[in-house]
């Protein structure tokens, strides 16, 4: 009976075209659960229109029918409307229970594809492509080893002369590492690896995390549902807080999809009293399809500003001056005014002086920054998502196609100058294309940037190499940047992560089959995986072949023990990991444990 009802429910929801991915030819269960959370009118209407569904999932309270949201989501989790994938999860011994976010202390790791240079819709060609990200939700009993410090490999120092070997790490008198660091690896694990050396030493954290939006140009986490996204954020914010100095600050750039939920989460992690401001950042002038919505046109992002201690934090009060104000007249207006003045037979010098006079009269010499940015005549802050790097020509500098949606250097300059002083440490653990680190470098701040995507070397690293050479983009001219300095690049030492990358690179099921023996012999699989049954029977079944390559890969990835994705520092000398003597020595120096 339950199976019949499950089939009926599947048919009911298939009437909603939003829930059927035509390109992937699969049912979008994640979206369904999000719509249930939002009490979507169409979903409620479909359920209420079926007698059996109405009896099962609605309760009548004083003539009003109320949807039992949790009962409905639990039924979906237990029965799986599109059940072939879950059937095989159970068949090969993978526990489905660890995916339920009702368990406390859960951790969300994200494992994105890494098979192209620029991912997530960052280039023109990529904007129409669907990226796939595997999000693993791990319960407390699965993360015993996860937070251990990781071994560090592939060390490189970049200076104006080029790439050099890292021979030693610079430290100050109190032992603090004084190096600009760019770290490749999962940011949650990288943050925990930083804790031993940088706890209480980071003055400013700025992050521009994945927005959890269906149609964003950077679909970092398309597969996150709402609760997974919040868990993803919470795990990272908790360790980030430990890294902040007692007078440190954190800024999070976000949009309307999760702003209000994130505010509640930030109140929980940092304390409500440590909330400072909700900064509203006007994006800029919009045109085209963005203006046709039958609604008020959205034209802002939000930046949440918190401190670790509301009574003690760095804040260098900032002002806009005349040179920062938006122009009263555009180029056409200026031309018309000057031509009119010319009719009065004023010389060129007098015309220019008069124009300057009318452009500035009535404006204050300085005006304190408000919590609405780029929204008044007193605030000319470059906007986002209009042109590549807000006209900073970084795409051209890197030799790649136009990269949209990135934050301007002027924005980061404002935040860094207000909340830090020279030589303070700035952290960004979603560095993307490296704007935070580029500006911190030009402003003589120490920085740490973390990114796990492969494009880190072609964007953030490439950009910082140009910064060292003295590039003139962004804020370079206004801060009189001449080049110089250096940074150190390093990676978390991969283990099961290496296996995951091999799985994701497979082009067919036959390639996955060939890979299985290597996975079994060389890497760590989940203790409960029925390897023999999977190899001899499951993988050969027609139903399994019909799953599609993406879901087959996902099952292979889930077989891996997530505690073993990277090499723990404590196991650096184990020969099976094949770490070099140089990497072991530098890891020991990093953790100050020789």
DSSP category for residue 371: S
CA distance 343 to 259: 54
Confidence band of 539 (pLDDT split at 50, 70, 90): confident
Say if residue 6's pLDDT is above 50: yes
In this prediction the pTM is: 0.82
Q: For 11-38, what is each residue's pLDDT tens digit?
A: 898 888 888 766 556 677 778 888 888 8
Q: For 75-91, what is each residue's pLDDT tens digit?
A: 887 666 665 666 677 67
Residue from 479, 462, 461, 481 nearest 471 by CA: 481
Q: Are 475 and 442 in contact (CB under 8 A)?
A: yes
Three-state secondary structure call for residue 113: coil
CA distance 582 to 151: 12
CA distance 208 to 254: 7
Q: For 108-146, what is each residue's pLDDT tens digit?
A: 887 654 333 333 333 444 443 444 566 777 776 667 788
Q: Are 416 and 394 in contact (CB under 8 A)?
A: no
Percentage above 70 pLDDT, the chain: 82
Three-state secondary structure call for residue 518: helix
Q: What is the pLDDT of residue 210?
A: 76
Strands (E), 357-499: 366-368, 372-373, 425-428, 446-451, 487-492
Average pLDDT of the residues of the chain = 84
Q: What is the pLDDT of residue 396?
A: 65
Three-state secondary structure call for residue 60: strand
Residue from 417, 472, 466 nearest 445 by CA: 417
DSSP category for residue 525: B
| Both tokens assigned to 515 | 């890979």
Q: What is the pLDDT of residue 361?
A: 92
Q: For 453-482, what is each residue's pLDDT tens digit?
A: 888 888 899 999 999 999 988 899 999 999
What strand order describes the sheet that includes 152-159? 162-164, 152-159, 487-492, 181-184, 446-451, 425-428, 202-207, 244-254, 300-307, 275-282, 372-373
Q: Are 418 and 206 in contact (CB under 8 A)?
A: no
Element (H, E) at 6: helix 2-14
**Angular region, 44: left φ>0, alpha ψ -120 to 50, beta rest:** alpha
Inter-helix orientation angle 435-442/409-419, to 10°:
60
Residue from 131, 138, 217, 89 nearest 565 by CA: 138
- Within 8 A by CB and 6+ apart from 61, the residues are none
Inter-helix orientation angle 2-14/41-48, to 10°:
130
Q: What is the pLDDT of residue 96?
A: 46
CA distance 230 to 226: 6
CA distance 442 to 475: 8
């Amino acid at each position: 009976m339950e199976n019949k009802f499950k089939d009926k429910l599947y048919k009911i929801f298939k009437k909603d075209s939003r829930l059927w991915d035509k390109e992937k030819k699969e049912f979008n269960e994640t979206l369904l659960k999000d719509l249930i959370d939002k009490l979507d009118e169409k979903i409620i209407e479909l359920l209420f229109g079926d007698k059996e569904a109405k009896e099962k999932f609605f309760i009548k309270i004083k003539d009003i029918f109320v949807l039992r949201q949790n009962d409905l989501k639990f039924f979906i989790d237990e029965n799986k409307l599109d059940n072939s994938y879950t059937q095989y999860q159970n068949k090969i011994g993978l526990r489905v229970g660890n995916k339920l976010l009702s368990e406390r202390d859960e951790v969300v790791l994200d494992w994105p594809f890494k098979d192209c240079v620029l991912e997530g819709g960052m280039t023109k060609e990529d904007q129409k492509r669907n990226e796939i990200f595997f999000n693993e939700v791990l319960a407390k009993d699965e993360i015993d080893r996860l937070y251990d410090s990781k071994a560090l490999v592939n060390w490189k120092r970049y200076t104006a002369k080029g790439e050099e070997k890292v021979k030693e790490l610079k430290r100050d008198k109190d032992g603090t590492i004084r190096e600009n660091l760019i770290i490749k690896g999962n940011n949650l694990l990288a943050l925990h690896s930083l804790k031993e050396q940088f706890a209480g030493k980071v003055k400013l954290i700025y992050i521009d995390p994945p927005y959890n939006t269906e149609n964003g140009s950077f679909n970092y986490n398309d597969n996150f549902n709402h609760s997974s996204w919040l868990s993803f954020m919470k795990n990272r914010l908790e360790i980030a807080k430990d890294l902040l100095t007692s007078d440190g600050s954190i800024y999070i750039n976000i949009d309307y999809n999760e702003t209000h939920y994130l505010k509640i989460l930030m109140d929980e992690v940092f304390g409500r009293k440590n909330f400072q401001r909700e900064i509203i950042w006007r994006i800029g002038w919009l045109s085209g399809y963005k203006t046709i919505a039958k609604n008020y046109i959205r034209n802002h992002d939000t930046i949440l500003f918190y401190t670790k201690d509301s009574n003690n934090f760095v804040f260098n009060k900032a002002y806009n001056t005349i040179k920062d104000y938006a122009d009263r007249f555009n180029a056409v207006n200026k031309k018309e005014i000057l031509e009119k003045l010319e009719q009065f037979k004023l010389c060129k010098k007098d015309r220019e002086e008069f124009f300057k006079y009318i452009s500035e009269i009535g404006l204050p010499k300085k005006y304190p920054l408000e919590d609405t940015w780029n929204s008044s005549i007193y605030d000319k802050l470059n906007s986002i998502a209009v042109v590549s790097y807000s006209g900073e020509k970084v795409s051209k500098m890197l030799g790649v196609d136009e990269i949209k949606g990135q934050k301007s250097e002027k924005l980061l300059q404002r935040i860094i100058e207000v909340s830090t002083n020279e030589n303070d440490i700035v952290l960004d653990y979603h560095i993307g294309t490296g704007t935070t680190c580029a500006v911190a470098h030009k402003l003589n701040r120490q920085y740490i940037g973390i990114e796990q995507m492969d494009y880190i070397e072609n964007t953030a690293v490439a950009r910082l190499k140009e910064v060292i050479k003295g590039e003139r983009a962004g804020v370079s001219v206004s801060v009189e940047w001449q080049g110089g300095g250096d940074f150190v690049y390093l990676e978390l030492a991969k283990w099961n992560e290496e296996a995951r990358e091999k799985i994701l690179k497979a082009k067919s099921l036959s390639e996955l089959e060939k890979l299985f023996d290597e996975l079994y012999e060389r890497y760590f699989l989940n203790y409960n995986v029925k390897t023999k049954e999977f190899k001899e029977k499951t993988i050969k079944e027609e139903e399994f072949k019909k799953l599609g390559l993406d879901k087959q890969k996902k099952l292979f990835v889930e077989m891996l023990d997530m505690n073993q994705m990277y090499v723990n520092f404590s196991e650096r000398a184990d020969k099976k990991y094949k770490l070099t003597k140089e990497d072991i020595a530098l890891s020991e120096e990093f953790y100050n444990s020789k």
